[in-house]
Amino acid sequence: MSLGILKDVARPILGGMGITAKRLRHKKATISYPEQRREQYPRTRWRHALTRYENGLEKCIGCSLCAGACPAKCINVVAAENTDEDRHSPGERYAVRYEINMIRCIFCGYCQEACPTGAIVLRKEFELANYHREDFIYTKEMLLEAKAST
């Protein structure tokens, strides 16, 4: 091999080793997860949640605007009529079935923006792993928050 070829091979290797040496001097960003958690960015959007009013009624009125705004078509809403005896939301209708296929979801936040009542929100909870595909279909019961959102 000629000396010119060796220089051509050695130059990138030494350059890469130089970058590695510079990185070794930086402060490490290791944390003890899950005891410590990194702060999420202000616009972080992860887990969906259906909110309630202070009196416990659901904010979702079953209008399906969130499903229409979803580019991934992962939201399925089936509406039913409210009655005086069985009232779920303050409007005329409510979502009897609300499902989100989290495998298809791209976490764009369009559903949150399209909702006229603020029923669907994306929280900062990011631990969404499961072992079975069917566990990624989030039902209304899984999405409803237990207490009123403030």
Peptide bond before residue 34 is cis, with ω within 30 degrees of 0: yes
pTM of the model: 0.74
- If pLDDT is split at 50, 70 and 90, which confidence band does 147 have? low
Residue 81 in domain? yes
Alpha carbons within 13 angstroms on the beta-carbon side of residue 17 total 5
Interval 50-108: pLDDT, tens: 999 999 999 999 999 999 999 999 999 999 999 989 999 998 999 999 999 999 999 99
Residue 40 in domain? no
Domains identified in the chain, total number: 1
Residue 131 gets which letter from DSSP? S
Residue that is written with structure tokens 């887990």 in the block = 47
As beta bridge partners, residue 95 has 79
Residue 118 in domain? yes
Cβ atoms of 60 and 117 within 8 Å: the answer is: yes
Residue 146 has pLDDT above 60, yes or no: yes
Residue 112: domain span: 48-143
Q: Residue 69 burial by CB count (10 A; 0-12/13-18/19+): exposed, middle or buried?
A: middle
Residue 53 in domain? yes
Residue 144 gets which letter from DSSP? B
Residue 90 in domain? yes
Residue 86 is part of a domain; what is its CATH number? 3.30.70.3270
Residue 127 has pLDDT above 50, yes or no: yes
